Amino acid sequence: MSAKAPFTIERIGWYDITERQREFFCFEDDYLPLPKEHALQIHLLTSSSAQRVWEWLSPSLPSGWPASKHRFAKRTAFKLDDEHWNLDSGIQIVRQWLHDLGIPYSTDIFLIYEADKIVQMPWKLVVKYWNALAWSIGNYMLTMDCTRQWACCFHHEEVIIFGTFSKK
* Domain ranges, residue 51: 28-164
- Measure Cα distances from 89 to 30, 50, 96 in Å: 14, 34, 10
Give the residue, 51 or 157, on which the prediction is more confident.
51
pLDDT of the residue at 29:
66
User: Confidence class of residue 1 from pLDDT cuts 50, 70 and 90?
Assistant: very low
106, part of any domain: yes
Mean pLDDT of 122-128: 97
* Other Cβ atoms within 10 Å of 163 Cβ, number: 20
Mean pLDDT of 16-44: 84
- In 93-146, beta strands by DSSP E: 108-114, 117-122, 140-145
Give the residue, 167 or 87, on which the prediction is more confident.
87
71, part of any domain: yes
111, part of any domain: yes
4, part of any domain: no
For the chain, what is the domain count? 1
17, part of any domain: no
117, part of any domain: yes
pTM: 0.90
* Other Cβ atoms within 10 Å of 42 Cβ, number: 23
